[in-house]
Amino acid sequence: MPQYFLSIVENESAYQAEGAASFDEVMHAHRSFAEAVSAAGAKIISSEALQPIATATYLRGAGSKEVSVVDNPLPEAKEVVGGYYLVDAPDDETALQIGQIVPGCIRLHRAASDLGHS
């Protein structure tokens, strides 16, 4: 089955403004999502929520001889990647249907390994 990467893009400040009840509601929606994936004939391979963006470390020049740790290069960004799902789905149409029920704004990518790349 092809694999799809669903990155969850969200506004972290919304959780602060709306409080714990809003966060709990979103977490409940993610648990319901997992059940819907199975019902669609797909499978969650892995998933994870990320720590707040303030805890991230930014590396400039990664993969080169001159790597440096830098401050947030996009401090004005309002929406950030807050988590992800890696899903096995039978086809693009099913992956799109699954992406439409993930809470938040989703960026959906088919894995390159399905194109013969590793």
pTM: 0.80
Across 32-49, average pLDDT? 92
Which domains, and CATH codes, for the chain? 3-115 (3.30.70.1060)
pLDDT tens by residue, 57-100? 888 888 888 999 988 777 777 888 989 999 999 999 999 999 99
Question: For residue 41, what pLDDT band results from cuts at 50, 70 and 90?
Answer: very high
Q: DSSP character for 42? A: -
Question: How far apart are the C-alpha atoms of 44 and 58, rounded to whole Å?
Answer: 28
